[in-house]
Amino acid sequence: MEAVIQEKVNVWLEGNFDNDTKQAIRKMQSENPGELAESFYRNLEFGTGGLRGIMGVGTNRINKYTVGMATQGFANYLNNTYPGGPVRVAIAHDSRNNSRFFAETAANVFAANGIKVFLFESLRPTPLLSFAIRQLGCQGGVVCTASHNPKEYNGYKAYWNDGGQLVPPHDKNVIIEVEKIASVDDVKFSGGEKNIVSIGAELDEEYLKMACSLSVNPDIIAKQKDLKIVYTPIHGTGIMLVPALLKRFGFENVTIVDEQAKPDGNFPTVVYPNPEESEAMSIGLAKAKSLDADILLGTDPDADRVGIGVKDHNGNWVLMNGNQTAVLAFNYLIEARKTKGIAKSNDMVIKTIVTTDMIDKFAQRNNVSCYNVLTGFKWIAEMIKEKEGKEEYIIGGEESYGLMIGAKIRDKDAVSAVAILCEMAAYEKAQGRTLFQKLIDLYVEYGFYKEHLISITKKGMDGQEQIAAMMEGFRNNPPASLNGSEVVQLLDYELKQGRNLKTGEEWKIALPKSNVLQFILADESKISARPSGTEPKIKFYFSVNAPLASVADFDKVYAQLDEKINGIIRDLKV
């Protein structure tokens, strides 16, 4: 074992750590030295979004000590930023194994540092944490979750006073403070318990009132109250609020998927508790088919991502992707506000740079400003803050199954999204069509945009290095053409520079630095490469488009766009 790893192991064996931790280390020493090396070869990085990793002992794992050290650094930064006090934080957690323990650990550390803590009495959706920060006038917040990751993972997301995740300068400044915590002995784990206040039902009620105010067509729901809805929380926190909100909206025919209704950090019915995965939605899909439902919805463990299933133009059940869902939701709110006469001349919507450009197209045609930001809802929240008082925020979203409706929440919110998606289905049913048929009509009107995602995971100690090498290869040697179409632009968000590969013209990209590359093709196809900030993974986003002359041509053009995507993937060699 490398000396630096052994040194870290010795610190934990000889230091102020509990006996169970030390016994677990000794067991790995004798039975699984490879796992011991993985657990200690680096310090789990507190990134711009917080912590995420596998649970277990060691510096590279999520445990009481890594959570405690992160919280101590965050507490130091909050106290330094607000020296006159008082400083208040809200803390929530999801259904994952140990999430309650980590939330209580964080609460105790904040409290021991003189910070008032509002700790939810039991599991709650992540969007409720964002809402609570704003409602309670907090300076920060934490939610203990690993979102949609497998059961062995957990995490810690840090928030600022606007209810959004940390953005510059706070993200980097908090990281600096966390990195200053050199030893577990620097952490105040106890001594301020009187500063912790339990919260729960009262915040639920305020949230439900707010979410109900997002409805644009309650009259349509009243006529379609028997809309057949199937919902699965996939063993997560959505069960705490989604059924209650659907009832408040006026829906009376909601079926919960029993097999996935109980919060359970072992996620016994799925491999990945992620509504992006068809396997996670399969039980709900079977239930929807058996009931001949109108719509299927699923949320991930912390209820910030939403998946949707509907009948397609042939009457077959399909799961929509995040881009399709975003197109429908953005368009519905833009159209419905115009129809209701509540649209404003300064209405705006926000999407990320890897989300379908079809949204830009119909927003422009409806005279609604559409802003593009970096991937992550913290950037949507930051844009709302920048435009506050000048423009009216309606909806934000990204391709990874996230929507954020209304400005009272500053992180993606699957709870309100479920209710609005059901309202959309009710509206379209009243018009005699499904959501999928509405989507095809939009393709006819604005062009058929089709997207695809490839995610490549590189595990182990050299995984990050392999990903970095892939990005450098694309950055230094961009392809000349893909699928027979010339690559005309390279957008490098790390260098904040755009370049016309034909003329050599360069321009500045007016967004914060981010390790993302985009290739723009002559046929308007767009390919994006982005390493994940929370996992050893690199994602490739493909977007192609073509005119759709009529509904009857849908299947033919769909196949042509599929062929185009496959050709690009072959040439890109990923």
Question: In percent, how much of the chain has pLDDT > 70?
Answer: 99
In which element (H, E) is residue 394 found?
A: strand 392-398
Query: Quick one: tokens of 518?
Result: 């985009």
Query: Which residues are paired to 199 by β-bridges?
Result: 120
pLDDT band at 533 (very low <50, low <70, confident <90, very high): low
pLDDT at 96 over 90: yes
Sheet containing strand 347-352, edge to edge, reads: 369-373, 347-352, 392-398, 402-405
- Whole-number Å distance between alpha carbons of 54 and 60: 8
- Whole-number Å distance between alpha carbons of 212 and 226: 18
- Whole-number Å distance between alpha carbons of 34 and 370: 49
The pLDDT value recorded for residue 275 is 96
Query: Quick one: tokens of 573?
Result: 């060699």
CB 483 within 8 A of CB 564: yes
In which element (H, E) is residue 95 found?
A: none
The pLDDT value recorded for residue 2 is 87
321 CB contacts (<8 Å, ≥6 apart)? 276, 399, 451
For each of the domains in the chain, give its residue range(s) and CATH number, in order of start.
Answer: 1-41 (no CATH), 48-199 (3.40.120.10), 217-446 (3.40.120.10), 448-572 (3.30.310)
The pLDDT value recorded for residue 85 is 83
569 vs 464, residue with greater confidence? 569
CB 466 within 8 A of CB 455: no
Estimate to the nearest angstrom the gap between the alpha carbon of 398 and the chain centroid.
8
Query: Which residues are paired to 436 by β-bridges?
Result: none
146 CB contacts (<8 Å, ≥6 apart)? 52, 96, 153, 154, 155, 301
pLDDT band at 460 (very low <50, low <70, confident <90, very high): low
The pLDDT value recorded for residue 49 is 82
CB 253 within 8 A of CB 236: no
Phi, psi at 400, each rounded to 5°:
-85, 50
370 CB contacts (<8 Å, ≥6 apart)? 348, 349, 350, 351, 359, 360, 363, 364
Q: From the candidates 39, 95, 130, 147, which is the catalytic residue?
A: 147
pLDDT at 462 over 80: no
pLDDT at 534 over 80: no
Residue 147 is a catalytic residue: yes
pLDDT band at 352 (very low <50, low <70, confident <90, very high): very high
Measured CA distances, 535 to 67, 150, 245, 305 (Å) = 18, 12, 33, 17
Query: Quick one: tokens of 535?
Result: 């996992």
* pLDDT, average across residues 26-35: 94
Estimate to the nearest angstrom the gap between the alpha carbon of 226 and the chain centroid.
31
The pLDDT value recorded for residue 1 is 62
The pLDDT value recorded for residue 83 is 95
The pLDDT value recorded for residue 466 is 86
pLDDT at 461 over 70: no
Q: Quick one: 83 exposed, middle or buried, by C-beta within 10 A (0-12, 13-18, 19+)? A: exposed
Cis peptide before 86 (omega within 30 of 0): yes
pLDDT at 253 over 80: yes
List, in sequence order, the alpha helices (H) in 62-121. Answer: 64-81, 99-112
In which element (H, E) is residue 547 found?
A: none
Look up residue 263 and give its amino acid.
P
Measured CA distances, 282 to 83, 226, 238, 289, 504 (Å) = 52, 23, 18, 11, 49
Helices 99-112 and 64-81, axial angle in degrees (round to 10)? 40
Q: Residue 227's closest CA among 421, 418, 426?
A: 426
Considering the chain, what is the average pLDDT of its residues? 96
pTM of the model: 0.94
- Whole-number Å distance between alpha carbons of 138 and 142: 11
